[in-house]
Amino acid sequence: MKYFYLIILVSFFSCQTQEKSISVSSDSAAKSVCDFVNPFIGSSSVGNPMIGTTSGGNTYPGAVLPFGMVSVSPHTDSMAPSGYYYGKEYIYGFGHVHLSGVGCQDLGNIVLMPGRGKIIPDLGFNRSRFSNEVASPGYYKVDLNGPDVTAEMTATTRSGLSRYTFHTAGDSSNIMLDLTQGVMPKLVSMPPQKGMVKIISDTEVEGFNYSGDFCYGKSFHAVYFVAQFSKPAIKTGTWTDKKLSDKKENGGDNFGAYFTFKTGKDESILVKVGISYVSIKNARENLNAEQNGFEFEKVWSKAREAWEKDLSRVKVEGGSQKQKQIFYTGLYHMLMHPNIFSDVNGEYQSMRTYPNHAGGKILKAEGYTRYTVFSLWDTYRNVHPFFSLVYPERQRDMVQSLVGMYEESGRLPKWELASGETFTMVGDPSFPVIADTYIKGIKDFSTEKAFEAMMTNATQTDPVIRPGLRSYLKYRYIPMDDKGEWLWGAVSTTLEYNFADWSLAQYAKALGKEKEHEEFLRRSMFYRNLYDPRTGFLRPKMKNGAWYSPFNPDTVQGTDLDFPGAGGPGFVEGNAWHYNFFVPHDIPGLISLMGGEKKFVQKLDECFEKKQYNLWNEPDMAYPFLYAYVKGEGWRTQQQVRNQMETNFDITPSGIPGNDDCGTISAFYVLGAIGFYPSCPASEWYEICSPVFDKITIQLNPKYYKGKEFVIETKNNSPENKFIQNALLNGKKFDKQQIGHWDIVNGGKLIIEMGKSH
């Protein structure tokens, strides 16, 4: 997902030539899979110069736990969606909640910044040049050259712990707490509520502030905190509108607090911060439950253990050091979102309703953990299917969270953030997530309520939930000149609704609801009304049945929004090539429309040869795997996936091709390296490609699956030997180009012999 971040796309920064890699131990010396993770990968402001991408991965290097609510990370640029761009000159502070890989700015709340000397309440003034950055799962460290301070940070699920070591003795060692300088504050139209800060004692401060307006969605949310210091301050104070005050409580347009300490040479001051989206009381409860004292090494060790446990659910052997770094960093990025949203007592802020974004109810998650940050238009394609396979207990709670959002707001979300609907991107992307989860065998959620929710989204017309639904049902596509409610990209939206309807059809069938299955299966075939046999493209159409003209399948401009790369007429952030094969639920039908298997393969080849394939654009991400639908052409999938992985990914800050989109781009590499990919979520099938490792062991959850583990072994594997020659599944000859979900989760072993020929 690229979002409206393209509107404010900044120029290329110095990090184009400043690349950071990480030295990784050899297999025999590596102590853990965490050793292979490099959090700086994807943190550049620009993409991979080898392939010409202009947008970086937008990841951040700070400390976070798997799916953690809290992430303590440096801010180097307020225009960066994550708050951080590698290669920038200054650090402005360290925030406590962040987004990874997205294309719009939000969060970055509760910013700490150490300094020395006179208090000046302006992070722009207190910024510092820095050096010696170090990052690993659950840990970040940097030297701030200006105040001569080493800053270290780690985290628990709902709290952060920072250690600031002041290398010069003195009585003016300051720690500032800024409550307005989050991510991109200048362009956010904030609500009337401003927040507040209150100094409780010389070791404690509490308060809250607001952030929001993600992708201009006009949804805002409060972030509450309690911060405690390891040593009493000799002086405290607050400020508002950049004016210092002795008041213990303050607020306003630009406000914060400061604590001044007397420190000896190389003395450390620790700050622990509890976070909640519910209340200050809950923030304190979260902090007390997850941290006892100021034990930095203990918290750091537990954070690393948590990462080791979750990353080790997929263990790889063989392959190059570079491949392991890309793989485990990719898996690391996949496990950063969605985030735990409920507090230790189970409470969370309820989903707000549209159009007034009303909310305010505090509810309790009973029997599940509530999650937030659902970048569904991206993650339904590969991240959530991967979670269903490897982290089914997490996926169950995520789906239950989606159902809860429907119960609270009357609709399933499209792109949810902190219990607010941002309305980012198009379609009905929660549908394939819910259906895929159930079809993959995870059924211990509110299944009937989920079905009710899907039916509501898909059928309600007063008020309408799906933009363009009336036109969609009347014309069996969304015409360019009769869209009803405003929507972005008539063709793209039609195709997304088609796949969502197919997902609902599969879910209905699994629940034994044959009438609904037949109806939504019928709807899912509406894409055929947009296929033009003369040009060989799915293209925009008028309500009288005439094709929209002029039509140029290569253009990425001219759609409903006016910013670079917004999409050609009828399309979203792409062109007709990027959507021409986006019929994941009916590839055999698309093959027939295109004139048969030979012409289908030729058209796919043409897409790659003309360099119209963009791995970092979600609708066409699965294209390399579509060859596997044609008998005897699976070798093309094996070749293309290897080539895409080799040319698009690297171990540098620009090593992710475009926004990582909450782990979606990373998931392409992770699944491709394992050797199979879910090109059609909500089905039981994965397309087979060439594993890059000698052995992959996937740990299975016995609560959901019969098998203990699934092992993929390759023989004669190398960069040159990328083609599958023979395969055995549990000792029996296996010559398919797809593998079933149950073949994997029942446990066993797939042995693949590789070679140079196809």
- Rounded distance, CA 590 to CA 594, Å? 6
Confidence of residue 185 (pLDDT cuts 50, 70, 90): very low
Q: What is the pLDDT of residue 564?
A: 81
Q: What is the pLDDT of residue 360?
A: 73
At residue 181, does pLDDT exceed 80? Answer: no
> What φ, ψ does residue 286 adopt, rounded to 5°?
-60, -45
Q: What is the pLDDT of residue 78?
A: 84
Helix (H, G, I), strand (E, B) or coil at 385: helix
Helix (H, G, I), strand (E, B) or coil at 370: coil
The answer to whether 687 and 679 are in contact (CB under 8 A) is yes
CB atoms within 10 A of CB 730: 12
Of the CA atoms within 13 Å of residue 161, those in its CB half-sphere come to 27
Tens of pLDDT, residue by residue over 343-376, are 999 999 999 877 666 667 999 999 999 999 999 9
CB atoms within 10 A of CB 169: 12
Domains and CATH numbers, the chain: 1-50+313-338+632-758 (3.30.2080.10), 62-309 (2.70.98.10), 351-372+383-584 (1.20.1610.10)
Average pLDDT of the chain is 92
Q: What is the pLDDT of residue 12?
A: 29
Instruction: Give CA separation, 349 vs 36, 405, 456, in Å.
Output: 37, 10, 23
- Rounded distance, CA 322 to CA 725, Å? 25
**DSSP codes joined into one string, 658-679:** S--TTTHHHHHHHHHHHTEE-S
Stretch 24-38: mean pLDDT: 71
The answer to whether 160 and 109 are in contact (CB under 8 A) is no
- The more confident residue out of 124 and 610 is 610
- Rounded distance, CA 428 to CA 507, Å? 14
At residue 54, does pLDDT exceed 80? Answer: no
At residue 17, does pLDDT exceed 50? Answer: no
The DSSP code for 11 is P
Q: What is the pLDDT of residue 118?
A: 94
Q: Which candidate, 270, 180, 274, 285, places its Cα nearest to that of 226?
A: 274
Q: What percent of the chain has pLDDT over 70?
A: 93
The answer to whether 648 and 48 are in contact (CB under 8 A) is yes
Tens of pLDDT, residue by residue over 106-148, are 898 999 999 999 999 988 889 999 999 999 999 999 999 999 9
Helix (H, G, I), strand (E, B) or coil at 615: coil
> What φ, ψ does residue 163 adopt, rounded to 5°?
-125, 120
At residue 160, does pLDDT exceed 70? Answer: yes
Confidence of residue 19 (pLDDT cuts 50, 70, 90): very low
- Structure token digits, residue 335: 């496990």
- Structure token digits, residue 622: 């699965």
β-pair partners for 201: 204
CA dihedral sign, ordered 532, 535, 541, 547: negative
Residue with tokens 């989860």: 437
> What φ, ψ does residue 728 adopt, rounded to 5°?
-125, 130
CA dihedral sign, ordered 567, 571, 573, 574: negative
Tens of pLDDT, residue by residue over 254-297, are 899 999 999 999 999 999 999 999 999 999 999 999 999 999 99
Q: What is the pLDDT of residue 1?
A: 55
Stretch 236-250: mean pLDDT: 94
Q: Which candidate, 248, 244, 275, 329, places its Cα nearest to that of 57?
A: 329
Tens of pLDDT, residue by residue over 305-358, are 999 999 999 999 999 999 999 999 999 999 999 999 999 999 999 998 776 666
Dmax of the chain from CA atoms?
A: 80
- Rounded distance, CA 25 to CA 11, Å? 36
Taking the model in full, what pTM does it have? Answer: 0.95
Classify burial at 338, counting beta carbons within 10 Å of its beta carbon; exposed 0-12, middle 13-18, buried 19 or more: buried
Instruction: Give CA separation, 568 vs 298, 497, 548, 683, in Å.
Output: 53, 19, 12, 30
Q: What percent of the chain has pLDDT over 90?
A: 85
Beta-carbon contacts of 743 under 8 Å, excluding residues fewer than 6 positions away, are 729
At residue 5, does pLDDT exceed 60? Answer: no
**DSSP codes joined into one string, 389-442:** HH-HHHHHHHHHHHHHHHHHHSS--SEEETTEE---SSS-THHHHHHHHHHTT-
Chain CA centroid to CA 520, Å:
29
Instruction: Give CA separation, 548 vs 173, 426, 534, in Å.
Output: 66, 21, 14
Q: What is the pLDDT of residue 26?
A: 40
- Rounded distance, CA 566 to CA 572, Å? 6
- Rounded distance, CA 98 to CA 58, Å? 11
| Side chain identity at residue 663, one-letter code | G
- Rounded distance, CA 112 to CA 32, Å? 31
Q: Among the listed ranges 7-21, 501-515, 528-542, which one has the minimum average pLDDT value? A: 7-21
- Rounded distance, CA 488 to CA 573, Å? 10
